[in-house]
Structure 1
Amino acid sequence: MPPKTLARGFCTAEFEGRTQRAQALMAQQGLAGMLLMSEPDVRYFSGFQTLFWQSPTRPWFLFVPATGKPIAVIPEIGAALMRQSWLDDIRTWSAPAPDDDGISLLTELLSPYAKAKARIGVMKGHETILRMPLGDWERLIMALPGLDIADTTGLVQGLRMVKSTAEIEKLSHICAIGSATFARVPEVMSQGMALEDVFRTFRREALAQGADDAPYVVGAADQGGYVDVISPPTRRPLQVGDVLMLDTGLTWDGYFCDFDRNWAIGRTDDAARRAYDVLWRATEAGIAAARPGNTCRDLFNAMSAVIAELDESGGDIGRLGHGLGMQLTEQPSHASFDTTVLTENMVLTIEPSLSYGNGLMMVHEENIVVGKDAATLLSTRAAPDLPVI
């Protein structure tokens, strides 16, 4: 079982450093501030962590000024928790209030910037959302004539791509928990178990191993392989000749692991063994290519070259891995279109996939951190041959 002595949360210096790095980049781009609205971005700069984000009823706002600490504009229900953070300026309203859900407070905060015709940033790009009603956003902008709204997607995502030592410790911890959970599968799963029960058993085991939650557990099982990896489980029992795959995103202290494992039930055939071997070697190629100076495209090409031994389409799922951290999937993407340059302390998934046989597919995934000269595994490496349960 993974050690349980790792401290939760971060020291104030962690948030000070994040904010100062953001403010240095903001200065380069002529930004007077940034308005953040989504859970991971608000948490990144404040440390505010709560499951209350699951409710769509209330919006939450964090403003990062050009200098000084961020300012929270949040529903009163979150005030006590936010006061435990490093922030001092916390402005609240009684929510929900559909006629004025924080808009007056935001207008008051941003009016001086509008009068100065200042430029502030919001997240507009890929993998971002406007986490407030569009009508409220339109009302806010109408109340702030002269305010210049810029896109800070690249700024924030660029900061979050590179992890601190403290973040890597948390990611390593949850990956160890995930590895320990996968190691238990041959002991707690067996022929005849319904796939629904496989999923439930896996979740229980993950919690027993020390995960805070198992919000993402997907997989499949069928004769010789599977046809997709995102469908809900059914009552179909595991049968001899099945290939079982489980993919999980477990969390600990707000950070995710994300990797999968494959097993054969009772026996396996040559096609499944061959697919597994190709993917295992493609994963090795991706890990070897994950070093500073290479691009995500380089990782994609390294894996694709091995996958092409069996499947020239490369599985056709768009990418072969991604960033990892406070979200199950983060930027960047290991894809032909992504030329993001890898740097030390990026945490990534290596996730090759391929198609084989009569419409079957297989996926293989590991979690790594990019080091000064080479990558280091955070997940325990899968067996080089398809394991049989």
Structure 2
Amino acid sequence: MNNIDKLKNFLKESKLDAILVSKNENLFYYAGFNEEGTYLLVTLDKSYLLVNSLVYSDAKNKCKNMEVILVSNYFETVNELLTSNGSNNIAFEKSLPYLGYERLKDATKVTLVPTYIDSIRMIKSSEEIKIIKKACRMADKCYKHILGYVKVGMSEKEIEKEMHRYLKELGASKEAFDFIVASGKRGALPHGRASNKKIKKGELVTLDFGCFYHSYCSDMTRTFALDKTNEKLVNIYNLVKEANELAISLVRPGIRVNYLHNEVSLFFKKHNMDQYFIHNLGHGLGLEVHEEPRISPSSETLLQEGMIITIEPGLYIEGLGGVRIEDVVLVTKDGREVLTKSSKELISVSK
């Protein structure tokens, strides 16, 4: 089943006549085209790509499985197409800007239904999996490179800059998000962006990074030490590593994602550390770095073969530091495959 057919099935199941796709990632997923000034209108029978004059020729060449229409007024064209198809309602993405919603409402005479279609992208095709594996290999190579590059006295921003450079050298199109480079006490910041702080001997350094490759992304976190670190941090590291391995061992089709999160929370609670585990265990990964399913205590989504998720337990102790270890995991028919291969042993870099 192709992606457009998945969307048409969604329309049938939801008793909808049409949907207007506007989100950049969903335009790419369903149309293979997401240049600025593009909308995709899908009815139960037909698909229309609505574009402006700047991208019309490109769209005609790339999108052979749908009708490409050059428009001057998007929403009037939507109304004309809905009328010709006898549509009584149209779904629109909740991410559609309010001004777009107002224009759609003013231009059409049908019922407007806000909807969310990102979850259709949860199960990856073999081609998507192949691309994400490549993006993960790039992240692994980058981590290995940085371990040979980093040294005492280097700033977090210097490390970040070298990561950017090396990933581009490997063929990445861009960074998947703003990298986290947090050393020493700054490791207690789950989203500690790289700063001018100089890295000191004996500190832990957490790197959370990823890249885009052919529109899909990787996302990996590793924590390493600069020379020998104190025993308390080593113990924290070992707990996080064990939690990461525990959660991964539980990944298989049919498991509710909140079970993964809650088992890690219970593990930390047994060690009187649960108060330092302050975020969700993970998330889906694909065209966006944060996708469905959310690996949270409240989500009851069932894991299915073909889903790609992250497992990223962490502990963050103000005034001391923190540790996070994140892997990308593919749900397979019988269990799981870890796509990020970098060692999770505590590596001490002596320079």
Q: TM-score, with normalisation over the residues of structure 1? A: 0.83
Q: What residue in structure 1 maps to residue 50 of structure 2?
A: 73
Displaced runs of 4 or more, over 6 A:
none
> 1:3 aligns to what?
none
Measure, in 2, the Cα distance between the counterparts of 1:205 and 1:49: 27
Match of 1:85? Answer: 63
Identity of aligned residues (%): 21
> Residue 119 of structure 1 aligns with which residue?
89
Alignment of 1:26 onto 2:4: no
Tell me, yes or no, if the aligned pair for 1:346 and 1:370 is still in contact at 8 Å: yes
Question: Counterpart in 2 of 1:332?
Answer: 293
CA shift digits 1:130-183 (9 cap, x unpaired): 1x4x234213213322x1223431xx2332000011110001111011111111
Please give the secondary structure, in 2, of the residue aligned with 1:28.
helix
Instruction: Give me the whole-angstrom Cα distance separating, in 2, the residues matched to 1:384 and 1:231.
Output: 22
Contact 1:122 1:150 in 2 (8 A): yes
Does the CA-based 8 Å contact 2:224-2:348 persist in structure 1?
yes
Q: CA deviation at 1:202?
A: 0.8
In structure 2, what is the equivalent of residue 61 of structure 1? 39
The residue identity in structure 2 corresponding to 1:80 is S
Deviation at 1:49, TM superposition (A): 5.0
The answer on whether the counterparts of 1:323 and 1:332 sit within 8 Å (CA) in structure 2 is yes
Structure 2 match to 1:312: 274
1:42-64, Cα deviation, whole Å (9 max, x unpaired) = 110111155xx5xxxxx421111
> Secondary structure at 1:221's aligned position in 2?
strand
Matches within 5 A, 1:1-389: 17-49=2-34, 59-68=37-46, 70-83=47-60, 84-93=62-71, 100=73, 102-112=74-84, 116=86, 118-124=88-94, 129-130=95-96, 132=97, 134-145=98-109, 147-153=110-116, 156-223=117-184, 226-308=187-269, 309-313=271-275, 315-317=277-279, 319-356=280-317, 358=319, 360-389=321-350
Say which structure, 1 or 2, has more relative contact order (CA 8 Å, 6+ apart).
2
Worse overlay, 289-298 or 360-369: 360-369
Gap change, CA 1:336 and 1:278, over 3 Å in 2: same
- The more displaced of 336-345 and 351-360 is 351-360
**How far is the alpha carbon of 1:266 from its aligned partner?**
2.2
SS at match of 2:323: strand
Report the Cα distance in structure 2 between the residues aligned to 1:27 and 1:215, rounded to whole angstroms. 34
- Structure 1 unaligned residues grouped into runs of 5+: 1-15, 54-58, 95-99
Q: Deviations for 1:51-99, whole angstroms, at most 9, x for unmatched residues?
A: xx5xxxxx4211111123x2111222222332213344112346xxxxx
Alpha-carbon distance change, 191 to 371 in structure 1, aligned in 2, over 3 angstroms: same
User: CA 1:76–1:211 in structure 2 vs 1: closer, same or farther (change >3 Å)?
Assistant: same
When normalised by structure 2's length, the TM-score is 0.92
Deviation at 1:212, TM superposition (A): 1.9
Structure 2: how far apart are the matches of 1:223 and 1:232? 13
